[in-house]
Amino acid sequence: MSNRNVMQKRLDKLREYIALLRKIGKHSKNKYINDSLIHGSGERYLHLAAECALDIGSHIVASQKLGSPGSYREVFTILGNAGILNSELTRQMEDLAGLRNVLAHDYLRIDHAKTYDAIKKELSWIENYIEAVEKFL
């Protein structure tokens, strides 16, 4: 399987997660916060979307020999430094990497209101990321 095919499968999966998150984001903030099935689904799909975006970025960094990221945030920093992401998108994706860390490791203190807000605003960032990656490919 070519690198392009591998990347396309990941981009397609990322689009799938975005579609699911958009459905979850149709709930009111109050319903999201108070329904553990809804916020649990939102947090999981947001985590998976962040992981997928990181995986895509890591593949690009490795295949282009752009360096060795020391953190998840640095994957996006390297992509920005290489001109694959613009400075605003680099910052936004670095923020997504930070949210990923909270969802994965700080799960006892997840603020459901903040994850709802992230679903409402960060999906457009991820869509912009997909466009930037496709343009690069």
pLDDT of residue 107: 74
* Domain-wise residue ranges, the chain: 3-136
For the chain, which residues score pLDDT lower than 70? Answer: 1-2
- pTM higher than 0.75: yes
What would the pLDDT profile of 5-34 be if each residue is shown by its tens digit?
889 999 999 999 999 999 999 999 999 999
Q: Which of 93, 104, 113 is nearest to 39 (CA)?
A: 113
pLDDT of residue 1: 35
pLDDT of residue 3: 79
pLDDT of residue 4: 82
CATH for the 3-136 domain, from 1.25.40.10, 1.10.3720.10, 1.20.120.580, 1.10.20.60: 1.20.120.580
